[in-house]
Chains A and B, each alone.
Chain A
Amino acid sequence: MESSQAVYEALKEVGINFIVSLPCVNLGKVMELVECDPEIIHVPVTREEEGFGICAGAYLGGKKPAILMQNSGLGNSVNVLASLYELYHLPILMVMSHRGTEGEFMNAQVPMGKATPRVLEALEIPYYNPKTPEDAFEVIKNAWNQAQSNGTPVGILLDISYW
């Protein structure tokens, strides 16, 4: 299975039908697949925090939401994750390209890359770090079920080496 295809197929498998996104070079192909899918409402947003707000509204309206983002956007979203998602127990699947991991060519990505797992831990957001497309397919499917049954965001961190 190809890496981007695996992410997309898993989102489809669990019925994710509302996706907001901000681009990352590594997520480009997933975003194209999502954009071309008539069963998924795709909303490009201006900032990750805004995307989380939109997904919360979509969930209240009956959709199954996910966000495609770079891990840097986690820093833009800490308050909404705590005082909207945790407070009201709302689910969302967070598919994050994890920059600043092994193989990173830009030093500037390293600080937020290092902070990312600890920010998720501070927010008590469960997260997974699949290493292969086969692994990602299974993990993403289970992650949505976990998000929905527990009313929580669940993170998927996709390292540089994943792609």
Chain B
Amino acid sequence: MERIEAIKTIVESLKIELVICNIGFPSRELYQVKDSSTNFYMLGSMGMASSIGLGLAMAQKRKVVVFDGDGSVLMNLGSLVTIYNQKPENLILVVLDNECYGSTGSQCTYASTVDLSKVADAVGFQEKFFFSDDIDFQPVLNAEGPVFVHVKVKPGNADVPVIPMKPDEIKERFIKEVQEK
């Protein structure tokens, strides 16, 4: 499965959930597949997706879906420990694992030799899902968080343009969506 297909399948099953999307091509692919005021696109701060998602989940009641990557999870592994300890019921962490740093030229990550599902298991996550072919996201949405979703995808990026929104626009639209509904 291509990463953009995985993103498409997941966002098609979302309604009012809030989305934090990782820096680089994942955000560009999400923007292309389905732009929405419920999306927050990261343009920098690699590694911070799961942390931003945790803070957002703890600050309000709506469900939060984070699109993270293998390289960026490895950059902030401590975040898994904090998420586990804080136990946000409304947080779903999706790791789109292509075993490489896709936005910088597909250099390998250690996710090819270290199984990130096992890492989540060792940390203590109770709700875990693994997908490699088809994704059925409804059971994920029904599970009580924090939920760890490991999705194996092919390396490579879709041919999609950069996001035309400015950082302030992304932020202000998202805050309005979160705080006025």
Contact = CB atoms under 8 A, between A and B. Distances in A.
A56 B59 contact: no
A44 B58 CA distance: 13
B interface majority secondary structure = helix
Interface of A: 18, 41, 43-47, 49-63, 65, 79-80, 82-84, 87-90
A93 to B, nearest CB: 15
B140 interface: no
Contact of A54 (B42, B46, B52): B52
Nearest to B175: A60
B120 interface: no
B100 interface: no
9 contacts: A49-B47, A53-B50, A54-B54, A57-B52, A60-B56, A61-B59, A79-B46, A83-B43, A88-B170
Contacts of B50: 53
Give the one of B58, B59, B86, B174 with max A CB within 10 A. Answer: B59
Contacts of B78: 45-47, 50
Interface string B36-50: 000010111111111
A58 B45 contact: no
A55 B55 contact: yes
Contacts of A83: 43-45
Contacts of A62: 59-60, 178-179
Contact of B52 (A47, A53, A63, A82): A53
7 cross-chain pairs, A with B, having the tightest CB-CB distances, nearest first: A83-B44, A61-B59, A57-B55, A53-B51, A46-B78, A53-B48, A57-B56
Contacts of B178: 60-62
Contacts of A89: 167-168, 171
B79 A50 contact: yes
B126 interface: no
A56 to B, nearest CB: 5
Nearest to A89: B168
Interface string B53-69: 11111111000000000
Give the one of A51, A55, A79, A83 with max B CB within 10 A. Answer: A83
B142 to A, nearest CB: 23
